[in-house]
Chain A
């Protein structure tokens, strides 16, 4: 967190490459406490929000251009507006008559991604304040924060923060005399990557086996307990109080037209100072590398992911790609979670791709055939290739299996799983070929030849 440390104290300057909004408080003493958060102006946005009609809040978020920080970049205000609300003066029917729920997706499990957990560790109250404002806007009285089960320390800190918020009257019955009730429940997941998929998360939260649901119906009409539900990422909701305080115009001073606002970029791997760098959307890797002190040991960059392993990897030629939703897509990848994994020239691409694929093989939930069987097969081929038993035909098989998984699986997990393989072969095919060069015949063929005695 060196980058934020140095930039975090001063006044916000537009020309500064860093824009600490979410990370502003992170290095303060006991930044996670309610006292610290309140001293620095925390929960002022809540007061503003509770004095603002809910529909106006939704309009504000819409106009601010805030897009979901979980990876897909869906416009947040639009998502909120999908929640069916009772029309004034009318008896609500259908989904509008049901309770509404806010669910925070804090099941941060994407390889390389580490933004939500530090946020919840360093500044949990920004998330909680965001939850209250969002619940007010969508008229929910129950909010669940679904946290990845492995980060026990984070779960504890959230529990403590929620308790503090209750004690301060920010949560519970009749919040600050507005008549608004809200309960927040912190729920620890059981360690399944698939539960980061919003409908699988909802099933898991309901106590079922976490596997993605058939859509439609979408969560906005039938989500948690078949009631209208907004599922948002931690970073998205933590941004909400800042927008309420700062306004949409301020928010739009950062980032680009269609991807406004600041974003936490998580740099990991072969950089001098890995960590969280909060900068406007559209910042390039070259700029971020400058902030992070460059490549570690000066060894040149070979490849990197813009947003976790599910986003197709990029190379040194993409150093100046603006990292926002449009820029990453134009470069043939996706912005994802802005988890930038940086690899220098010492790393073998097939090896890295194999490790990633093994992750997906392990985490595929098993519901649909392409992902379940495809990941198993792809990992098997890659392991064999890395062990030196691959053939060039395997590369074609890899690509064809990837083609049979991409867009054929039930949810996006399968699509993400093939990203490293197809992009790895796209940019570094010669490395895969080199692995096969010594191997002219498939080992299985060798074995059959040997068993049949034909080689004698």
Chain B
């Protein structure tokens, strides 16, 4: 009667396969085999104090704070065991500090020992108030210290990079930072030095007085996981106490990772950004750009009031009413080809980043008076928009401006890319995920330097590689990312990527046919004609999943929201069915039927006097494939309306500037490269919002979707995008309508390839002739195929010639959102020219000497470093911060895969 239930109680339910049953503090618990005791305790709600333990790092057992008593087979183990290193076992009995006096004393003893050399810095320490040592000293420590000897002291703080400061006195030597750097980031720049009580964290530089410092893109994570105040951020140090901050969850705005972040702020300004915890996306890690670049919202260049160009040709602050009215009337006129303005024209001094002289565009314009009137407005929203803002731009272009001339791609782009996006990206929803990368047997990256262009993806690829995934990179040299993800480089000449994909090594081609294989392609594929087509073909024949990883946070959202010339919202092509469906939902009679111009074509049309106006969002001119053309277009356009957070290179050309909110002052959604929606609420509501206590410097600015909505109203059009929530709801209602069978991706050789759609850079022949009188043949970018080293060597007779450029951007290269971050800028990888030893010998270049990289429109002087590049290939970063501003290789007239000239130090001095 009562016997039976008692018996089952004693034995309990059957143990699941792969699990063991043990007892912790008198509670019987089942745990998966191999689980660490400390994790099982966590699940039971038993907090065992710890310092070195971190769930994402390999166990160390160094701090000894988590000691518990363990009984196996009815016998107590003679010593207390570190619960962070010991795994559970069947019938094990664990007694933590809650039930074991031995464990309790052991923990108190370790805590006392940890504190003997720890300074009493808490009142001035950044970590005070959120410090595991402080907290656990309260929970597991003695009230009074018996230590009366002298504490060990060090000079402090010790900078281990521009961004990270080390206070060795506070360090408890848990090795979380060194283990993170070694295991997660793969950057072995910090290590333990010395021994005993003098043991300390250090770098080559701190150990020897010279050498490498903590040159990691992920260094900030060590600050966050430091369980004491030993590692602090140079930019946050002494700026706030954690208990004075409001913490708001957010999403990374600097790249397409969609990483979860936590923004801590007070008095209207963010004081620091921390990694959020999202196991599906960024786990607990972010890169330093995401972490440290946030002061742009407070920068001196912020625009907080609308600006309207007056009769004096200068911009003046104006009311929203006046500004919107002015912008609306100008845009309507431009749209309808009735330009009223006498163009208070561009007598302004426009800064020019490159060495090219101001060309004679004005005189050309004057001759054009006889031409057909300018008509129409092109829209360049930029790639940093939320989905909601991108949708507002897409709708604004179609309804208010009556055009498909909209392109969010402020970078090298092509018509082939539009085909690819339509076929593989737009409206496809959640595709390849971070988890898929981790589980993939094989990953191939194409036109994607993953650590520089998608650092959070890099971390996951490295994790995957450590677990056995074969990560291959199609590229030119063994970059740090290649080395740190297993070292598989499929080397090809720049521009030869499509040919290389068609002729992959057999083993790799075979591996890509296995289930779970993934091909990651970066936005740079647009720079190589035929590459998107080759990726699409590879996916078709191998069955590998394809994911597109753009650099900027808003690119994927812009594709899905229709901020492209050939795609409407929801992946819809510009065909009659989709247009009719959309028109009825939007409550209009018709939508523009002609596919739009892409960004380069918009700029060409504006420069050529075909388009009358431009609406420009967050676009940095230097990032466009042809900055010279872009400046020419802005100068030639009769109407320029700029929606910006801050003064930019567009501002001097603008007739009306409408301020928009930075990401912390608005809500919205970034759709990351996976296609995952990453919604975020307003971090700081400048109007006071629900918290009602915003003071300080926060300015009231509005999201782009609200500004566009109001502007459209002035143009007698309703967008219904007053708030991000409304815009998101409408986009959601629209749903996805992809064509059942998307059109093929048309490479340069495709018979249907439209004209002029594959040029990543538009440079006139004359410019090349001026720059390289040696010959036009070298300009033929399209004909480059995989380099045969011997062939190249044999055909290269000209000592200066025959060089091809490989290039991509580095993570930290002075982008417009990196202003006012000198510490972060100090951790940027120094820009260098890289060549192989053989090429260096041929060109008489020497490592560490300065060499000159010359393009048709200017030159750049950088140090030389030797790397395993193909013969006669030169690598240089696509964007370099110079004292006078950013210089892009595109601005110099150079392209990936194109010709380039490199000469040794021009003053002839060699070290």
Give A residues with C-beta under 8 Å from B.
192, 194, 209, 211, 214, 361-370, 372-377, 380-381, 384, 397, 400-401, 403-405, 407-410, 442, 444
Interface: B109 (CB within 8 A):
yes
User: Which A residues lie within 8 Å of B110 (CB)?
Assistant: 369-370, 404, 408
A366 in contact with B106 (CB, 8 Å): no
23 example contacts (A-B, Cβ-Cβ < 8 A) are as follows A363-B195, A363-B196, A365-B196, A366-B195, A366-B197, A369-B63, A369-B64, A369-B65, A369-B110, A369-B173, A372-B173, A372-B197, A372-B199, A373-B114, A373-B197, A375-B196, A376-B116, A376-B197, A397-B146, A404-B110, A408-B64, A408-B79, A444-B148
**Top 9 closest pairs, chain A to chain B, by CB:** A404-B109, A366-B199, A380-B149, A407-B79, A373-B113, A376-B197, A364-B196, A444-B148, A366-B195
Name the residue of chain B whose CB is nearest to the CB of A378.
Answer: B149
Given contacts A214-B59, A404-B112, are A366 and B192 in contact (CB under 8 A)? yes
Interface: B699 (CB within 8 A):
no
Name the residue of chain A whose CB is nearest to the CB of B191.
Answer: A209
User: Which A residues lie within 8 Å of B78 (CB)?
Assistant: 407
User: Which B residues lie within 8 Å of A401 (CB)?
Assistant: 109, 113
A373 in contact with B64 (CB, 8 Å): no
B195 in contact with A194 (CB, 8 Å): yes
Given contacts A369-B110, A377-B113, A397-B146, are A410 and B61 in contact (CB under 8 A)? yes
Of residues 104 through 127 on chain B, the ones whose CB sits less than 8 Å from some CB of chain A are 105-106, 109-110, 112-114, 116-117
Chain A interface helix/strand/loop/mixed: helix
| Distance A365 CA – B175 CA, assembled complex (angstroms) | 14
| Distance A407 CA – B196 CA, assembled complex (angstroms) | 18
User: Which A residues lie within 8 Å of B65 (CB)?
Assistant: 369
Chain A CB within 10 Å, residue with most, of B110, B113, B146, B198: B113
Interface: B316 (CB within 8 A):
no
**B37 CB → nearest A CB, Å:** 14
Contact of A369 (CB < 8 Å), options: B59, B146, B172: B172
| Distance A211 CA – B173 CA, assembled complex (angstroms) | 13
| Distance A211 CA – B191 CA, assembled complex (angstroms) | 12
The 8 A CB mask of B840-866 against A (1 = contact, 0 = none) is: 000000000000000000000000000
**A200 CB → nearest B CB, Å:** 11
B197 in contact with A365 (CB, 8 Å): no
| Distance A369 CA – B106 CA, assembled complex (angstroms) | 12
| Distance A451 CA – B485 CA, assembled complex (angstroms) | 61
| Distance A409 CA – B106 CA, assembled complex (angstroms) | 10
B196 in contact with A372 (CB, 8 Å): yes
B60 in contact with A214 (CB, 8 Å): yes
Contact of A370 (CB < 8 Å), options: B64, B147, B172: B64
Name the residue of chain B whose CB is nearest to the CB of A384.
Answer: B149
Give B residues with C-beta under 8 Å from A.
59-65, 67, 78-80, 85, 105-106, 109-110, 112-114, 116-117, 146-150, 152, 172-173, 191-192, 194-199
Name the residue of chain B whose CB is nearest to the CB of A211.
Answer: B192
User: Which A residues lie within 8 Å of B197 (CB)?
Assistant: 361, 364, 366, 372-373, 375-376
User: Which B residues lie within 8 Å of A363 (CB)?
Assistant: 195-196
B191 in contact with A366 (CB, 8 Å): no
| Distance A76 CA – B80 CA, assembled complex (angstroms) | 28
| Distance A361 CA – B198 CA, assembled complex (angstroms) | 10
User: Which B residues lie within 8 Å of A442 (CB)?
Assistant: 148
**A196 CB → nearest B CB, Å:** 14
User: Which A residues lie within 8 Å of B152 (CB)?
Assistant: 376
| Distance A317 CA – B149 CA, assembled complex (angstroms) | 36
Name the residue of chain A whose CB is nearest to the CB of B106.
Answer: A408
User: Which B residues lie within 8 Å of A397 (CB)?
Assistant: 146
User: Which A residues lie within 8 Å of B194 (CB)?
Assistant: 366
| Distance A369 CA – B62 CA, assembled complex (angstroms) | 7
| Distance A228 CA – B195 CA, assembled complex (angstroms) | 29
| Distance A249 CA – B63 CA, assembled complex (angstroms) | 48
| Distance A364 CA – B59 CA, assembled complex (angstroms) | 21
**B881 CB → nearest A CB, Å:** 37
User: Which B residues lie within 8 Å of A405 (CB)?
Assistant: 109, 113
B113 in contact with A380 (CB, 8 Å): no
Beyond A370-B64, A377-B113, 10 extra complex contacts between A and B, CB < 8 Å: A209-B192, A361-B196, A366-B194, A366-B196, A368-B61, A369-B113, A376-B197, A404-B105, A404-B112, A444-B148
| Distance A335 CA – B62 CA, assembled complex (angstroms) | 28
Name the residue of chain A whose CB is nearest to the CB of B174.
Answer: A369
| Distance A194 CA – B195 CA, assembled complex (angstroms) | 10
B80 in contact with A377 (CB, 8 Å): no
User: Which B residues lie within 8 Å of A214 (CB)?
Assistant: 59-61, 85
Name the residue of chain A whose CB is nearest to the CB of B51.
Answer: A369
| Distance A185 CA – B697 CA, assembled complex (angstroms) | 68
Name the residue of chain B whose CB is nearest to the CB of A210.
Answer: B195
**A262 CB → nearest B CB, Å:** 31
**B263 CB → nearest A CB, Å:** 34
Name the residue of chain A whose CB is nearest to the CB of B102.
Answer: A407
Chain B CB within 10 Å, residue with most, of A194, A365, A384, A410: A410
| Distance A192 CA – B195 CA, assembled complex (angstroms) | 9
B192 in contact with A404 (CB, 8 Å): no
User: Which B residues lie within 8 Å of A372 (CB)?
Assistant: 173, 196-197, 199
B117 in contact with A410 (CB, 8 Å): no
**B173 CB → nearest A CB, Å:** 6
| Distance A401 CA – B199 CA, assembled complex (angstroms) | 20
User: Which B residues lie within 8 Å of A370 (CB)?
Assistant: 64, 109-110, 113
Name the residue of chain A whose CB is nearest to the CB of B111.
Answer: A369
Contact of A365 (CB < 8 Å), options: B61, B147, B195: B195
**B60 CB → nearest A CB, Å:** 7
User: Which A residues lie within 8 Å of B173 (CB)?
Assistant: 366-367, 369, 372
| Distance A403 CA – B192 CA, assembled complex (angstroms) | 27
A376 in contact with B196 (CB, 8 Å): yes
| Distance A313 CA – B552 CA, assembled complex (angstroms) | 69
**B508 CB → nearest A CB, Å:** 26
User: Which A residues lie within 8 Å of B146 (CB)?
Assistant: 397
Given contacts A362-B196, A366-B196, A409-B64, are A403 and B109 in contact (CB under 8 A)? yes
Name the residue of chain A whose CB is nearest to the CB of B194.
Answer: A366
User: Which A residues lie within 8 Å of B150 (CB)?
Assistant: 380
Chain A CB within 10 Å, residue with most, of B149, B152, B192, B194: B149
**B153 CB → nearest A CB, Å:** 13
| Distance A216 CA – B197 CA, assembled complex (angstroms) | 27
**A449 CB → nearest B CB, Å:** 14
| Distance A404 CA – B113 CA, assembled complex (angstroms) | 9
B60 in contact with A408 (CB, 8 Å): no
User: Which B residues lie within 8 Å of A375 (CB)?
Assistant: 196-197
Chain A CB within 10 Å, residue with most, of B109, B149, B197, B198: B197
| Distance A331 CA – B63 CA, assembled complex (angstroms) | 33
| Distance A251 CA – B623 CA, assembled complex (angstroms) | 82
Contact of A381 (CB < 8 Å), options: B59, B113, B149, B191: B149
| Distance A208 CA – B106 CA, assembled complex (angstroms) | 30
A368 in contact with B62 (CB, 8 Å): yes
| Distance A193 CA – B667 CA, assembled complex (angstroms) | 59
Chain A CB within 10 Å, residue with most, of B65, B172, B194, B196: B196
**A61 CB → nearest B CB, Å:** 28
Name the residue of chain B whose CB is nearest to the CB of A444.
Answer: B148
| Distance A370 CA – B114 CA, assembled complex (angstroms) | 8
User: Which B residues lie within 8 Å of A409 (CB)?
Assistant: 64
| Distance A404 CA – B65 CA, assembled complex (angstroms) | 11
**B144 CB → nearest A CB, Å:** 12
A373 in contact with B116 (CB, 8 Å): yes
A410 in contact with B62 (CB, 8 Å): yes
**A49 CB → nearest B CB, Å:** 38
| Distance A326 CA – B780 CA, assembled complex (angstroms) | 86
**B112 CB → nearest A CB, Å:** 7
**B108 CB → nearest A CB, Å:** 8
User: Which A residues lie within 8 Å of B172 (CB)?
Assistant: 369
Given contacts A373-B197, A377-B116, are A368 and B64 in contact (CB under 8 A)? yes
**A292 CB → nearest B CB, Å:** 35
**A194 CB → nearest B CB, Å:** 7
**A391 CB → nearest B CB, Å:** 10
A377 in contact with B64 (CB, 8 Å): no
